[in-house]
Structure 1
Amino acid sequence: MPVSVTMPRLGESVTEGTVTRWLKQEGETVEVDEPLLEVSTDKVDTEIPSPAAGVLSRIVVAEDETAEVGSELAVISGEGESAGGQDDGEAAEPEQTEPATEPTAAAEGTGPEPEQAQEQPAAQAAPASSGEGTAVKMPALGESVTEGTVTRWLKQVGETVEVDEPLLEVSTDKVDTEIPSPVAGTVLEIKVPEDETAAVGADLAVIGTAGGAAPAEPEPAPKAAAEPAPKAEPKPEPEVTEPTPGAGYNEPAAEAESAAQPAKAEQAAQPAAPAAPPARSAAPAQSGEVPGYVTPLVRKLAGEHGVDLASVNGTGVGGRIRKQDVLEAAEKAKAAKAAPAPTAPPAATAPARPAAKAQPSAKRGSTEKLPRIRATIAKRMQQSLHEMAQLTTVIEVDVTRIAKLRTQAKEAFQQRHGVKLSFLPFFALAAVEALQTYPIVNASMDLDAGTITYPDAEHLGIAVDTERGLMVPVIHGAGDLNLGGIAKRIADLAERTRTNKISPDEIAGATFTLTNTGSRGALFDTPIVPSPQSAMLGTGAVVKRPVVVNDPDLGEVVAVRSMVYLALSYDHRLIDGADAARFLVAVKERLEGGNFEAELGL
């Protein structure tokens, strides 16, 4: 029985989501809980898993379109219903009866039967096919999209392709996506080379029907159509004579042409002819062959992190490599690099770092689409500055005692709580305690209603730097946690935010935000307060420097101390400078007192 895939509720205040990418195309099989599509909201980008196993028979909401929560996104049919479900949604009833009679016609004659048999597994592409092949056209990838640019051909002239197997990658001003093959066969001609633009409806390539299927194969599944192809041998000629049009892919194309004849003999015996995809996945700067299909998003992440996809074990269905696999491989690579550094004397070769910094970024001189999350951040930051009268007050804090406590307790703390003990949990705990004493800093103001709201709890937002932009997961009820609890929550939220495993509700509802700008070496900055919050605390880098201190025995002396700047940005319409100063002094006294022995078990 067909199962409807609906837009889930991705947070309390989320009412709609935008489909950014379909990970499966119509006609492809999907397993239970296998990622089916990617959805973007104002709060989070996430993958939507399939609620059932079967065949994706119909996509209702196209990429880059927005749907309300609860609305239908797609329909999944059972394995036995896949063919019928597809025809019902994609082809008219008269077309259903024609393929049923074609096998018998194929048994009686020897003329057009192979072409008719090839049309069966791809009924929706049949109108565009001819005696020479089926045209692959540029689809409409959005209401206002009139053209697209071919960024990469995943198949070259002479290579075989299955129904709905990714054929090429196309980029528009709204979305980057893969175009699946409408039929099974051989790529006879590529009409639009890479980096060239074509209008919607224009022919991109021609898929030959000669190597399609024998009459008896369409009934079980379209994928079987590539097995028997003895009658298709007269048509390899266009494959061999075609030029190699794809820039940067001349060598793979030449190999495909030279191997076209022996490949034909193997097609009838083994459907593993699509083993050609590893050759295409090896093209993008990977040292080895990548097993299976890899999405452009994963390839991009691998390139940014320097991860060799051939060495990654995929945890997705069928061994598919997912984003999490790449990120975990990148973390392991960083850990492996960090381990030998202290032991190897050749650490003196560290001057190699300046060479890496000198390498120019590949993005120089380029233009890319503004990600949805970045656009949301930009709008909110601009809105916040327009709505508030923001002011920043900075204070200097001596954290030498905390630095000594960390040195004493960090190993035992990590064994007990499973996370490293950094300065950030100390700052967070001191800030939460100060918010309880000075709730005006934790409050919000509605100028139109003439009200000030004091929350009954301290919901602490922690700014996390991710590859998609700055995200702020929230420690709800932070005032109820001790130092160890806050440290574990910070580590957990930061990790799941960076790996895109955070839920929308976990990045909503903050009443006060803490941002650790010192993690990148900054002494301090002037944070922008996110509305409707009224204040935000920025912690700078902890550095050692000479400071004048008052020694009980020696009086004023100069000593080396661990110092940090704390910068509080706040809405001056609600919070006065004196309120901000009192709050910062409370944080300062708590940190400089260093009375955390009980929290650390010392």
Structure 2
Amino acid sequence: MPVSVTMPRLGESVTEGTVTRWLKQEGERVEADEPLLEVSTDKVDTEIPSPAAGVLTRIVVGEDETAEVGSELAVIAGEGEDAGSAAPAPAQQAAAEPEPAAPVTPSTEKPVEEEAPAPTSTTGAGGAEGTSVKLPALGESVTEGTVTRWLKQVGDEVEADEPLVEVSTDKVDTEIPSPAAGTLLEIRVGEDETADVGAVLAVIGAPGSAPAAAPEPEKPAPAPAPAQAPAPKVETAPAPEVSGESYATPAPAAETKQPAPAAPPAPAAPAPVAVESNGAGDAGYVTPLVRKLAAEKGVDLSTLTGTGVGGRIRKQDVIDAAEKAAAAKAAPAPAAQAERAAAPVEKAAAKAEPSPLRGRTEKLTRIRATIARRMVESLQVSAQLTTVVEVDVTKIANLRNKAKAAFQAKHGVKLTFLPFFALATVEALQQHPVVNSSIDVEAGTVTYHGAEHLGVAVDAPKGLVVPVIKDAGDLNLGGLAKRIADVAERTRNNKIGPDELGGGTFTLTNTGSRGALFDTPIINQPQVGILGLGAVVKRPVIVNDPDLGEIIAPRSMVYLALSYDHRIVDGADAARFLGTLKERLEGGHFEADLGL
């Protein structure tokens, strides 16, 4: 009996989700609990597993389409049902087409007979029949994508659904799986080349098939028969061009193909990146993935000589340049330069290069658009005010220094200041429930929560995400430290579950981890409070000594900024909450939690 695949509830208050990618196509076999599709919501991006084993006979909701929770996404037929008739029909139809090089992008809204989910038959450059690998739709309004890396080379064997190629668009960087098992006969779109949605990227033949003699087209133009220059980045020969030696000398690219012996040692030239510019960094197209990587590694794209087609800068170019710059900085100065003054070198190394994002216009990611909308909504629906206090955490700093080695050995995580702040916060929330509440103006009610579900803001690659530690008030210092480290790691690696991103009653945001003294954080609705943790810094402070009276001494100080909803939390309530928090932290009585 056919089984319906429905949109699950992916978090509290989530009513819909967007299909970002189908991991299986119509006519393909799927096992129970095998990942079937990827879904994105305002809170999480996750995979939906198959509810049963069988054949995917019909896709109801296509990629980049939105469906409500509980609605049907696809249909899976069991063994012996009509699944067999759904898959062959498209292949037979595609085989009869005289011009397969200009395929029409499959639309999941058409009947099964017209969608051609099965691999399309095409002819490679060497005349061999094979299965075409097409560029799928990778986002709403996305019409093209750039190949950033081929994970397989011509002649390699590839399995069905095995990652084949990495593609970058304005919205997503993703892997395209192989539609069939066999041999990669031909690559039609080289690395750093751009193709339209639906264009043929490569051709896969039967297992053991001989690859095409030479891939002819250079670009993935949607024309019926591309016949331009070969895509050199998919052959074995150009491999030396992206090695570290290619940046050891400003010689022409042809020389970089020779072995390394003739190359002189890396010069101790300008620290940023010692490469010759050909202007490609300014004029050529650079993928979002390359720009992001360059920004992270501090590489100035305008100084790079790209090894891609037409001089385009590839991801490997940025990696090699960053490694070369790091090696040049770490290596001792040559004897000929030993007399050079150190001051000018340090000054050159400290020069800050402009970000490659300057002057660019890019599309907002879904999560960034969601953050923007919610931040504005939060300011519109609540009356927000921030109160700041200064706390002396010298005792905690001393305890931490004594116990951090044993703590890490026992719990497996580093002992930072954050668990101390989290423990003191949940204890203060238990004494001041008005800060751990939510208000419903229309109903005229306020709910004082019976548990402390602590949200912890995480700076993830895709944007700010706030996983929630449920029942944080039931955890001790070690438990909080492990839970915080766990949810932060899984959030950054996109492994956090949707149920862990909702239901918070109060939030911590550690802006001090980036050196900020304090800020005025915006409340995460429908909560009524959020605590910003500033940087812990040492500075001279006047303290009262029992024997010496007032003296100036170095102390570890931190600012705590509480933003609260003034509709339900008064200034006096906020001050009392912060007073309790300050007293707990300055007392520093955490020896029992640390085993001291």
Deviation sequence 1:218-261 (CA, Å, 0-9, x none): xxxxx8745467xxx9xx7xx759464479xx9973597xxxxx
Residue 583 of structure 1 pairs with residue 549 of structure 2: no
- Give the alignment of 1:586-597 within 5 angstroms: 586-597=580-591
Name the residue aligned to 2:279.
none
1:409 Cα offset (Å) = 2.1
Please give the secondary structure, in 2, of the residue aligned with 1:91.
helix
Deviation sequence 1:370-393 (CA, Å, 0-9, x none): 221111111111100111221111
1:33 Cα offset (Å) = 4.5
Question: Of 55, 79, 83, which aligns to 1:85?
Answer: 83
**Cα gap change, 1:300 to 1:360, in 2 (>3 Å):** closer
Residue 253 of structure 1 pairs with residue 231 of structure 2: yes
Name the residue aligned to 2:494.
500
In the aligned structure 1, how far is the partner of 2:166 from the partner of 2:149? 6
**Cα gap change, 1:376 to 1:94, in 2 (>3 Å):** closer
Does the 8 Å contact 1:59/1:75 carry over to 2?
A: yes
Name the residue aligned to 2:16.
16
Does the 8 Å contact 1:396/1:563 carry over to 2?
A: yes
- Give the alignment of 1:57-72 within 5 angstroms: 58-72=58-72
**Cα gap change, 1:88 to 1:175, in 2 (>3 Å):** same
Q: What letter matches 1:374 in structure 2?
A: R
Name the residue aligned to 1:148.
144
Name the residue aligned to 1:529.
523
In the aligned structure 1, how far is the partner of 2:176 from the partner of 2:230? 20
Name the residue aligned to 1:517.
511
Q: What letter matches 1:448 in structure 2?
A: E
Q: What letter matches 1:10 in structure 2?
A: L
Q: Which has the higher helix share?
A: 1
Deviation sequence 1:283-327 (CA, Å, 0-9, x none): 98899xxxxxxxx99999998888xxxxxxxxxxxxxxxxxxxxx
Q: Give TM-score scaled by structure 1 length.
A: 0.65
Residue 415 of structure 1 pairs with residue 413 of structure 2: no
**Cα gap change, 1:43 to 1:156, in 2 (>3 Å):** closer
Deviation sequence 1:93-135 (CA, Å, 0-9, x none): 9969999xxxxxxxxxxxxxxxxxxxxx997746999x99899
In the aligned structure 1, how far is the partner of 2:31 from the partner of 2:296? 29
1:415 Cα offset (Å) = 3.0
Deviation sequence 1:257-298 (CA, Å, 0-9, x none): xxxxxxxxxxxxxxxxxxx7x9999998899xxxxxxxx999
Q: Give TM-score scaled by structure 2 length.
A: 0.66
In the aligned structure 2, how far is the partner of 1:86 from the partner of 1:376? 42
Q: What letter matches 1:563 in structure 2?
A: M
Residue 572 of structure 1 pairs with residue 566 of structure 2: yes
1:401 Cα offset (Å) = 1.1
Does the 8 Å contact 1:91/1:124 carry over to 2?
A: no
**Cα gap change, 1:523 to 1:389, in 2 (>3 Å):** same
1:59 Cα offset (Å) = 3.5
In the aligned structure 2, how far is the partner of 1:429 from the partner of 1:34? 39
**Cα gap change, 1:499 to 1:405, in 2 (>3 Å):** same
Question: Of 418, 441, 446, which aligns to 1:447?
Answer: 441
1:169 Cα offset (Å) = 6.9
Residue 376 of structure 1 pairs with residue 370 of structure 2: yes
In the aligned structure 2, how far is the partner of 1:421 from the partner of 1:156? 43
Question: Of 399, 404, 412, which aligns to 1:405?
Answer: 399
In the aligned structure 2, how far is the partner of 1:185 from the partner of 1:536? 56
In the aligned structure 2, how far is the partner of 1:544 from the partner of 1:32? 57
**Cα gap change, 1:46 to 1:299, in 2 (>3 Å):** farther
1:537 Cα offset (Å) = 0.8
Deviation sequence 1:30-69 (CA, Å, 0-9, x none): 5655543321112111223345566655433222111233
Does the 8 Å contact 2:190/2:218 carry over to 1?
A: no
* Stretch of structure 1 that moved more, 43-52 or 373-382: 43-52
* Stretch of structure 1 that moved more, 409-418 or 523-532: 409-418
In the aligned structure 1, how far is the partner of 2:62 from the partner of 2:10? 19
**Cα gap change, 1:135 to 1:510, in 2 (>3 Å):** closer
**Cα gap change, 1:92 to 1:533, in 2 (>3 Å):** closer
Does the 8 Å contact 1:158/1:253 carry over to 2?
A: no
Does the 8 Å contact 1:169/1:177 carry over to 2?
A: yes
**Cα gap change, 1:481 to 1:286, in 2 (>3 Å):** farther
In the aligned structure 2, how far is the partner of 1:123 from the partner of 1:418? 48
**Cα gap change, 1:49 to 1:304, in 2 (>3 Å):** farther
In the aligned structure 2, how far is the partner of 1:447 from the partner of 1:122? 51
How large is the Cα RMSD of the aligned pairs? 5.1
**Cα gap change, 1:3 to 1:98, in 2 (>3 Å):** farther
1:437 Cα offset (Å) = 1.8
Does the 8 Å contact 2:189/2:202 carry over to 1?
A: no
Name the residue aligned to 1:47.
47
Does the 8 Å contact 1:149/1:197 carry over to 2?
A: yes
In the aligned structure 2, how far is the partner of 1:359 from the partner of 1:285? 24
Runs of 5+ consecutive residues of structure 1 not aligned to the other structure? 100-120, 209-222, 257-275, 288-295, 307-329, 331-336, 342-347
Does the 8 Å contact 2:190/2:233 carry over to 1?
A: no
In the aligned structure 2, how far is the partner of 1:303 from the partner of 1:28? 39
Name the residue aligned to 1:541.
535
1:564 Cα offset (Å) = 0.7
